[in-house]
């Protein structure tokens, strides 16, 4: 008679603390077989692949210390999991829910394939604070605005107390064969562009917990103002750890609420709820990454500007705060949230380039490339989503830089070729007198680009395009 075994399918939950699928698997059978599958049809960007490699290394070591070996497989989960279930004599596969449409499709085919063997796929909620299917308006509808959504979830019962890390995770007597992690070639080699990632990040659950504790003991006390200052280290930088599930939003929520919240802590709690809202939107509106949620923007005439897009991607727009953000992204795989809004607004409004091009670039270059948050945030900036910044609100990157990077620390770090400019001209080098430029060693168009677009003209073009699009949609209605 086969040894009772259950399969634990890791996905975006690469942790042992507060892992509902792990808890359920341990209760279901005396032996647990952990598996991670690199699904062929689950897209993952270059920076996220780098993170995944190191996160899986950390998870494998943690599981080994508890008594289990992580099985790595690559391919179609609908084929691999039934094969493993048959090999191990497992009747159940426990996993945590993912909200992305491609994962929901994979779940459906995998569940059907397992059912043919008489096995079950059992899913648990772990990525969000609240169950998106349980959050409804008073009329039973779906929330389309953040504030009513936030009020609704704050009025609900608090998220469950975080589950403890198990003392032991007994693996099956005969562990299934596993791929070698290096054979997946997740790390860049030719060229190796990950130097900045290595010096910035240490993926894994232990680092996530340390970073969370440090933030909640320190910088969170200034979060209400500090989150807007890219030149200072006052944000949590937990987004990639949250995306890969190395720490749960639930654990952060409970750690934050051990005492009454200060105003700054309440702002951070609101950011955790915004993360839930993005997942909620994707869960109920799966076209969020591909189509504007506001139908009047379906036919907005975006500009076809490959050269402008490439200049934006490389941080060569000639607008310092924009270039600093894009270079920070390329170097570290991450960008300060305030600057994300500035660079997105510049691409969509000043250059009038489709927000989906920007979203795709972020998905490839961010270590925290989360489809729900990325899509919701780009639609927010573009004004094409529900509860979005209006399209006619155009960030002025110069005034944004002067306000939030007043001493120029952020721009000087990532755009060193203009670092010698006085603060007065740092965020708008084109406004500096020729003598000041020469003294700073700046030659516009040579050592540093001239702006891709006149900011006032770009803003006016965006407003006129928006007005024509809205008028056209109204006539067609």
Catalytic residues: 271, 274, 302, 337, 355, 378
Structural tokens at position 197: 């990632």
CA angle 350, 353, 357 (to 5 degrees): 135
Pairwise CA distance, residues 364 & 169, whole Å: 35
Q: What is the DSSP string of 272-326?
A: HHHHHHHHHHHHH-TTTTTS-SSGGGTT------HHHHHHHHHT-SS-HHHHHHH
- The helix/strand/coil state of 358 is helix
Contact 73/178 with Cβ under 8 angstroms?
A: yes
Pairwise CA distance, residues 130 & 159, whole Å: 7
Pairwise CA distance, residues 424 & 151, whole Å: 42
Q: Kind and range of the H or E element at 32?
A: strand 31-39
Pairwise CA distance, residues 240 & 100, whole Å: 16
Contact 33/6 with Cβ under 8 angstroms?
A: yes
Pairwise CA distance, residues 243 & 127, whole Å: 8
């Amino acid at each position: 008679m086969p040894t009772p075994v259950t399969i634990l399918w890791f996905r975006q939950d690469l942790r042992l603390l507060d892992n509902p699928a792990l808890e359920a698997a341990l209760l279901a059978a005396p032996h647990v077989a952990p598996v991670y599958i690199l699904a062929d049809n689950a897209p993952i960007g270059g920076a996220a692949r780098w993170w995944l490699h190191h996160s899986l290394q950390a998870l494998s070591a943690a599981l080994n210390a508890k008594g289990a070996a992580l099985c790595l497989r690559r391919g179609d989960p609908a084929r691999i999991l039934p094969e493993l279930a048959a090999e191990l004599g497992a009747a159940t596969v426990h996993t945590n829910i993912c909200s992305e449409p491609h994962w929901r499709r994979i779940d459906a085919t995998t569940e059907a394939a397992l059912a043919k063997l008489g096995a079950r796929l059992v899913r648990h909620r772990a990525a969000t604070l609240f169950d998106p299917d349980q959050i409804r308006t008073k009329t039973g509808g779906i929330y389309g605005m953040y504030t009513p959504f936030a009020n609704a979830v704050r009025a609900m019962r608090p998220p469950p107390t975080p589950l403890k890390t198990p003392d032991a995770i007994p693996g099956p007597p005969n562990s299934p064969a596993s791929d070698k992690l290096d054979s997946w070639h997740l790390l860049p080699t030719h060229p190796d562009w990950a130097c900045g990632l290595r010096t910035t990040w240490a993926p894994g659950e232990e680092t996530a917990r340390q970073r969370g504790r440090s933030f909640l003991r320190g910088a969170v006390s200034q979060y209400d103002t500090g989150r807007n200052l890219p030149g200072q280290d006052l944000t949590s930088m937990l987004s990639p750890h949250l995306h890969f599930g190395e720490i749960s939003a639930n654990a952060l929520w409970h750690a934050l609420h051990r005492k009454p919240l200060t105003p700054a802590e309440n702002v951070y709690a609101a950011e955790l709820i915004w993360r839930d809202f993005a997942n909620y939107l994707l869960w109920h509106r799966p076209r969020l990454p591909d189509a504007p949620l506001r139908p009047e923007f379906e036919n907005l005439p975006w500009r076809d500007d490959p050269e402008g897009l490439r200049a934006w991607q490389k941080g060569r727009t000639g607008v310092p705060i924009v270039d600093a953000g894009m270079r920070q992204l390329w170097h570290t795989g991450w960008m300060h949230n305030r600057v994300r809004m500035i660079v997105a607004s510049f691409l969509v409004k000043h250059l009038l380039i489709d927000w989906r091009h920007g979203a795709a670039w972020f998905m490839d270059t961010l270590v925290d490339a989360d489809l729900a948050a990325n899509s919701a945030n780009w639609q927010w900036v573009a004004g094409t989503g529900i509860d979005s910044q209006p399209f006619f609100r155009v960030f002025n990157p110069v005034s944004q830089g002067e306000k939030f990077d007043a001493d120029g620390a952020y721009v000087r770090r990532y755009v060193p070729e203009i670092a010698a400019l006085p603060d007065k001209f740092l965020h708008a080098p084109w406004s500096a007198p020729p003598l000041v430029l020469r003294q700073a060693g700046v030659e516009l168009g040579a050592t540093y680009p001239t702006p891709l677009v006149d900011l006032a003209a770009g803003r006016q073009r965006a407003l006129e395009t928006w007005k024509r699009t809205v008028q056209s949609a109204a006539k067609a209605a």
